[in-house]
Structure 1
Amino acid sequence: MGKSLYIAEKPSVAQEFAKALKMDMRSYNGYREGEGAVVTWCVGHLVTMSYPEVYDMKYKKWSLATLPFIPQEFKYEVIKSASAQFQIVKGLLNREDIDTIYVCTDSGREGEYIYRLVEQMSGVKDKKRKRVWIDSQTEEEILRGIREAKDLSEYDNLADSAYLRAKEDYLMGINFSRLLTLKYGNAIASYLHEKYSVISVGRVMTCVLGMVVRREREIREFVKTPFYRVLAKLNLQGRKIDAEWRVNPDSIYFQSPKLYKENGFLKEETAKELIVSLENLPMYVEKVEKKKETKNPPLLYNLAELQNDCSKFFKISPDETLATVQELYEKKLVTYPRTDARVLSTAVAKEIHKNIGGLRNIPGMRPFAEEVLEKGTYQNIAKTRYVNDKQITDHYAIIPTGQGFGALKSVNERGVNVYEAIVRRFLAIFYPPAIYQKVTLTTAVTIEKASEKQQKEQFYASFKVLADAGYLKVMNYSFQKKKTAAKEDAESSESGEEIGDEDLLAHISSLKKKDLLDMEGYEIKEGETSPPKRYNSGSMILAMENAGQLIEDEELRAQIKGSGIGTSATRAEILKKLVANKYLALNKKTQIITPTLMGEMIYDVVNASIRSLLNPELTASWEKGLTYVAEGSITSDEYMEKLTNFIKSRTSGVLGLNNQYLLRGQFDKAAQFYKTKK
């Protein structure tokens, strides 16, 4: 009887498989072996695509005459630094006593690609090949993955999309980087007084650069508009509150060109006019409205949402978040991190009590886990919005496994904090919504006019009080400082609502129509319109996930989510590369992203030559096409034909341009914002 070979992506993962198999195994150079099984590993990628000069030495020298470079068949080679491990894996793959290969690389497109390249270069024949697809590295999940492993051929479409993604990045990178460098590199180099300049272009990278540059230019071109709000100072049982004026159909300013929106004026004089017309006139209650507001627990974390929150909470970059959550995954504390889904599968929902039960081992989380289990709120989770098989492609959301707590002692403070964020987000879904009682007070002043229609000016004040904390009681992060009362007041006034107390709400609720109010005068509050916000590392990842749109509202993000730009596995690396290339600057303290002068110049070059590379919708459509290949909706040949036509047509278009001299004006325009102090 032959042996089974288990091939993992990393040595640490191979070790977990070897443990799970519960077999007496001896360690050898690059693998472990027992009576019925051999476990080996890659070290990430062992094989890569060959450079153009491997096809023909004429491609070594960059020349417009050799573009576009589109080989009929692609060549691959073993990475020199990994050649020793490749030879070990190749030998094991072809060993006569091994009849079944279990592919245990990461369960995703890139993991599939890593193994397929190794198999291709090893010339594997006549072996049974099975694909292990797991969501965590717990022993239970590993054994389930092995038990339910499908034939590798069922993942052929996924492998096709992986090969195409690599070919696409390779062809666009080589052709467009060479093309634009040869065409415009001298223009950039001479402007910057450098010997030469290489223009690095990528399918996703260039699009992201465009998003940042466009945002920076929007901010520069933004013209602030001042506006003036009028506030009535009321005294309600000793509690001083502000009520804001808003226009209404009976106001003298209804549909007036003097207005700034519905609650302010473009000029201070107009605000003063209003106050003069109201002075010494009584203010009375027009209406009191009471309503209940509910706030549901947020959806679970996918990688993009976690990277966004970690940018806000801890001021760390997306690649630092990914590295941290990857460590938590490898220590069996959380499920697979490179996921786009924010929900659970129905299969996982049936067993979710195990994850919750395990969290009783964490002192700070024990009361919540016990409450969920005691009340049984997990039992109906499959009927909620937190479980949806249709919203899951490769993996469900990032959640705690309920295991691996021994390893938590070896995790640094940042890792513990990220783990806490994941655990609290997970437990929250088993709690009811938070409920607020909200009261809106509408007041009015009537100006009697003998010959004209009666004039009425209205003021509004809203208050809310937390009636039932619901899931919010789970969300008190230990790593966050308690908000000061001043900060809470500032935040509430910005949103147009104040956090009231129950006595104040009761008093407002008791007011009747036409009741007179105690007034202490009026105040003019000056404000100004705000420019668009710069991206930070977290909001950039969210914008990439949503095909270039920075959607602040979480519910809306969940509804319109598509394939986006890049994937959960690659977005952080793309951002990191742009910073390493000095096209973007990342402030480590604030995580704010801004372009560099070089980045803006590259943007201007691409905008003048291959503008479509800056289009987020087009870039997202390429990613969507790869998804269609993985689903089997379109063939590899169809996708490849579209790709080669795109490269040929854009290359031809740039070769026919003669616009280098026009860029000087664009460079000058950008450079004025980067002049250094002498």
Structure 2
Amino acid sequence: MPVILAEKPSQAKAYAAAFQIQEKKDGYMRLKPCSLFPDGAVLTWGFGHLLELRAPADYESSWKKWSLDTLPMLPAHFRFKPNPRAFKQLKIVKQMLQEADSIIIATDCDREGENIARSVIDYTKTSHKPTQRLWINSLEKDEVYKGFEQLREGADYLPLYEEARARQFSDWIVGMNASRLYTLLLKQKGINEVFSVGRVQTPTLKLIYDRQKEIEAFEPEPYWELEGTFRAEAGEYKGKYKKRFGSKKEVLRIWKEHGLKKDTEGTISSIKKEEKQEKPPLLHSLSSLQTTMNKKYKMSPSAVLKTVQSLYDEPLKAVSYPRTDTRHITSGEFNYLKGNLGRMQECMNASFEPASTTPSKRFVDGSKVQEHHAIIPTKKVLSQTQFEKLNRAQQQVYKEVMNSVLAMFHRNYVYEETTIETDVQGLVFESKGRVDKQLGWKELFPAPKKKKDQEDNTLPPVTEGEQVEAYVQAAEKETQPPKPYTEGQLINMMKSCGKWIEDDETSKKVLQETEGLGTEATRSTIIQTLQKQEYIRIQKNIVEVTSKGRALCEVVEGTLLSKPLLTAKWEAFLKQIGSGEADKEAFLKQTEAFTKKLVEEAPAGITNMQTNPDQVAASKKQPQRAEPIALCPVCQKGQLMERKSFYGCSEYANGCKFTVPKTLLKKRITQAQVKKLCEKGETQVIKGFKGKKPFDAKLKRKENGVEFVFPAKDNAPS
């Protein structure tokens, strides 16, 4: 009798729904005989991983103690032990596999799914038995049954298992050794913390740290722009001279050369109208869905994965397999989506006439679909009543997935872009406006309402050669620092880091081919790990590195462990193992060589640490999420700390009253701005304060608080 091994109970329940159950037992169930299984079948499951790698002390007694003298720790053979939280289930699975005539691996259709099943099969010494593989994209009843009708040869997926093992063993080698190494080295510098280090999490942390350093080191540079407000017969519009000026002297020269005055006349010298189109966005991969949901709803990547997984799992089975890295589908998926178009429109209350029901290469391309296609609704389209019963997060995610598919059938977005050039004393000011001609797919994604202070981008109807009243002014501005990452941008940064972090083309190619750091299934987990290890904190969707994270980044600076390229090269090697083109043992030998070199060279890098150990300790003593920001500029003793509604000195109890409000005239003041205020005496220009009218200003230190400093905005430079 065959034994079907699922990854988890909910998955097994979805499989069982495609057959008739003979009896349910503790940890497994028996399926009635049918055309596919004439003698019936046993269906059992894991709870994810039923096994885990042994700890260092299980290999060598000397490895129990954390000591630099025992590094590197390199087991000759890796050994597993039962997951203590799943010991009972492992015993049941072991019995079922040993009694089986054949085995059907029905875990998740990816690298880790293969590892979960094969590691148990090896552990139970049943790998000699005939093995087949279930490979499906949906847990719908019909798709499950179809998958069991078309089982694949288990041996075809052995390279995927080798890839997973290589990843698992190399992560142990790097993680166990590097974590002990840097924990012990940093302890010598006075930091008594455990530092978790990994081949993906550490370069990810370093990228966040590098962005934060860019922001802190940023020195704003002033520049001037000539701005014009023009009054025509049909209405008022604004324009800007194309060139920026690096000094006020340049502005003065241009001003005088062209005889500009406060109020003068201008002529509309050119009007260009161009019709433009935007095609519907691509379908979603997990990364694009996580990035989109974070941008729209501030939903964390881990929450998005959890939510879309709940839509995929029993009992909903409403979307296809979520851990996918492709944004395309095959003609098979397109045909069933086309057949369900009316039901999808009804669910989303989106009535429109399809622009086309012919597959477009933009969305339907079998050559870009490997194991899994884009995330799409299953044939089990929810009714409006069923949709309304979903929780809020499920509704938001399901709606995004549904609308991405509906957009594929919708018309293009069409708009008319108008460019007006206004000549004022020989200087040409450009104004751009946009008018929607056909919303098309954008009807499905309503734009958020404009805020009161946001300018309208429509232009009044004017004619070429028309005379207008012109009011020209020189506006002093400053270059702005890079923005800190949001949680959603981290996903995109991890995936696309090869586009901008490495200089040579070979490095870029490797990073782009491996899609950067991590995989679709692991990126959100990496972010969670960085939070759990207290390397980063996420506040109001903004990601910041903690003092503990800074200390680690400073000491790994310059090592391969801090570079995304190393991780990408390893991932490329792993993929070659998965395709049968490379050898697992060769990969592990490379990992061991890297680790030996790291142990030899890391002590020299410890001198790079600039973070004060007291800062790390201070951040631990503060309430959750409080981190030292900068030395207090008033008392020169305390640290500026973030409180509930303000930033204040840690020496407050000893008389220091220096504070900075967290929100000033409806504008949030960031930690980076407070740090600059403390260290430089003033911030760069901060945009968006809201008094009676919106305005931009710097914040300057004043006694125990701050004051505004306004950038120059002259009608005529002097």
Conservation of the 8 A alpha-carbon contact between 2:215 and 2:482: yes
1:620 offset after TM fit, Å?
Answer: 2.0
TM-align CA RMSD = 2.7
Tell whether 2:554 aligns with 1:604.
yes
1:310 offset after TM fit, Å?
Answer: 1.6
- Structure 1 SS opposite 2:548: helix
Task: Using CA pairs under 8 Å that are at least 6 residues apart, name the structure with larger relative contact order, 1 or 2.
Answer: 1
Partner of 1:45: 49
Tell whether 2:595 aligns with 1:595.
no
1:155 offset after TM fit, Å?
Answer: 0.8
The CA distance in 2 between the partners of 1:270 and 1:388, in whole Å, is 58
Deviations 1:228-275 (A, max 9, x none): 22222222333100121224xxxxxxxxxx824xxx968775676477
Tell whether 2:484 aligns with 1:534.
yes
- Structure 1 SS opposite 2:409: coil
1:576 offset after TM fit, Å?
Answer: 0.7
Distance 1:278 1:632, change over 3 A: farther
Partner of 2:121: 119
Deviations 1:290-339 (A, max 9, x none): 21111111111111111112212222211111111110111211111111
Distance 1:206 1:37, change over 3 A: same
1:409 offset after TM fit, Å?
Answer: 5.2
1:537 offset after TM fit, Å?
Answer: 0.7
Distance 1:108 1:595, change over 3 A: same
1:441 offset after TM fit, Å?
Answer: 1.3
Partner of 2:77: 73
Conservation of the 8 A alpha-carbon contact between 1:232 and 1:522: yes
The CA distance in 1 between the partners of 2:320 and 2:591, in whole Å, is 35
Conservation of the 8 A alpha-carbon contact between 1:293 and 1:436: yes
1:184 offset after TM fit, Å?
Answer: 2.5
1:568 offset after TM fit, Å?
Answer: 0.9
Conservation of the 8 A alpha-carbon contact between 2:4 and 2:41: yes
The CA distance in 2 between the partners of 1:172 and 1:596, in whole Å, is 23
Distance 1:243 1:301, change over 3 A: same
- Structure 1 SS opposite 2:411: coil
Tell whether 2:536 aligns with 1:584.
yes
Partner of 1:414: 393
1:444 offset after TM fit, Å?
Answer: 1.8
The CA distance in 2 between the partners of 1:363 and 1:563, in whole Å, is 33
Partner of 1:259: 245
- Selected match of 1:290 from 273, 277, 285: 273
Partner of 1:341: 326
1:652 offset after TM fit, Å?
Answer: 2.3
Deviations 1:598-646 (A, max 9, x none): 1101111212xx6211112222222222122212232223322222221
1:129 offset after TM fit, Å?
Answer: 1.1
Conservation of the 8 A alpha-carbon contact between 1:344 and 1:387: yes
Distance 1:662 1:539, change over 3 A: closer
1:130 offset after TM fit, Å?
Answer: 1.0
Deviations 1:550-603 (A, max 9, x none): 89xxxx99x96742101111111111111111110111xx21110111110111
Tell whether 2:9 aligns with 1:11.
yes
The CA distance in 2 between the partners of 1:649 and 1:410, in whole Å, is 56
Q: Which amino acid aligns with 1:313?
A: K
The CA distance in 2 between the partners of 1:333 and 1:266, in whole Å, is 64
Q: Which amino acid aligns with 1:185?
A: K
- Structure 1 SS opposite 2:609: helix
Deviations 1:209-242 (A, max 9, x none): 1111111111011111232222222223331001
- Selected match of 2:431 from 453, 461, 478: 461
Partner of 2:581: 633
- Selected match of 2:59 from 49, 55, 61: 55
Distance 1:188 1:600, change over 3 A: farther
Conservation of the 8 A alpha-carbon contact between 1:547 and 1:562: no
Tell whether 2:160 aligns with 1:158.
yes
The CA distance in 1 between the partners of 2:267 and 2:11, in whole Å, is 71
Conservation of the 8 A alpha-carbon contact between 1:230 and 1:271: no
1:395 offset after TM fit, Å?
Answer: 1.1
1:276 offset after TM fit, Å?
Answer: 4.7
Structure 2 gaps, min length 5? 33-39, 502-507, 617-627, 632-638, 642-649, 652-718
Conservation of the 8 A alpha-carbon contact between 2:3 and 2:42: yes
Partner of 1:663: 609
Conservation of the 8 A alpha-carbon contact between 2:551 and 2:611: no
- Structure 2 SS opposite 1:243: strand
Tell whether 2:338 aligns with 1:353.
yes
The CA distance in 2 between the partners of 1:315 and 1:289, in whole Å, is 39
Q: Which amino acid aligns with 2:445?
A: M
> 640-649 or 398-407: which moved more?
398-407
The CA distance in 2 between the partners of 1:400 and 1:126, in whole Å, is 39
> 106-115 or 408-417: which moved more?
408-417
Structure 1 gaps, min length 5? 190-195, 248-257, 447-455, 493-497
- Selected match of 1:232 from 228, 231, 239: 228
Q: Which amino acid aligns with 2:409?
A: F
1:408 offset after TM fit, Å?
Answer: 4.0
Distance 1:265 1:11, change over 3 A: farther
- TM-score of the pair, normalised by structure 2: 0.79
Deviations 1:355-399 (A, max 9, x none): 43442551524x24xx33xx6x23x22x32112233333211111
The CA distance in 2 between the partners of 1:430 and 1:629, in whole Å, is 39
Conservation of the 8 A alpha-carbon contact between 1:434 and 1:470: yes
- Structure 1 SS opposite 2:518: coil
Distance 1:400 1:271, change over 3 A: farther
- Selected match of 1:651 from 576, 593, 599: 599
Q: Which amino acid aligns with 1:483?
A: K
- Structure 1 SS opposite 2:452: helix
- Selected match of 2:96 from 74, 89, 92: 92
Distance 1:664 1:424, change over 3 A: closer
- Structure 1 SS opposite 2:231: strand
Q: Which amino acid aligns with 1:259?
A: F
Conservation of the 8 A alpha-carbon contact between 1:226 and 1:266: no
Partner of 1:130: 132
Distance 1:473 1:663, change over 3 A: closer
1:282 offset after TM fit, Å?
Answer: 4.4
Partner of 1:192: none
- Selected match of 2:298 from 315, 323, 328: 315
Partner of 2:141: 139
Distance 1:386 1:259, change over 3 A: same
- Selected match of 1:34 from 24, 31, 36: 31
Deviations 1:153-183 (A, max 9, x none): 1111111111111111111100111112222
Distance 1:81 1:560, change over 3 A: closer
Conservation of the 8 A alpha-carbon contact between 2:264 and 2:469: no
Conservation of the 8 A alpha-carbon contact between 1:308 and 1:539: yes
The CA distance in 1 between the partners of 2:530 and 2:238, in whole Å, is 48
Tell whether 2:630 aligns with 1:673.
yes
The CA distance in 2 between the partners of 1:61 and 1:474, in whole Å, is 60
Conservation of the 8 A alpha-carbon contact between 2:424 and 2:470: no
Distance 1:669 1:198, change over 3 A: closer
Deviations 1:22-60 (A, max 9, x none): x24211111111331211111111011111111121111
- TM-score of the pair, normalised by structure 1: 0.84
The CA distance in 1 between the partners of 2:221 and 2:12, in whole Å, is 61
Partner of 2:497: 547
Conservation of the 8 A alpha-carbon contact between 2:97 and 2:126: yes
Conservation of the 8 A alpha-carbon contact between 2:517 and 2:567: yes
Partner of 1:204: 200
Distance 1:640 1:518, change over 3 A: same
Identify, as 1 or 2, the structure richer in helix. 1
- Structure 1 SS opposite 2:17: helix
> 298-307 or 177-186: which moved more?
177-186
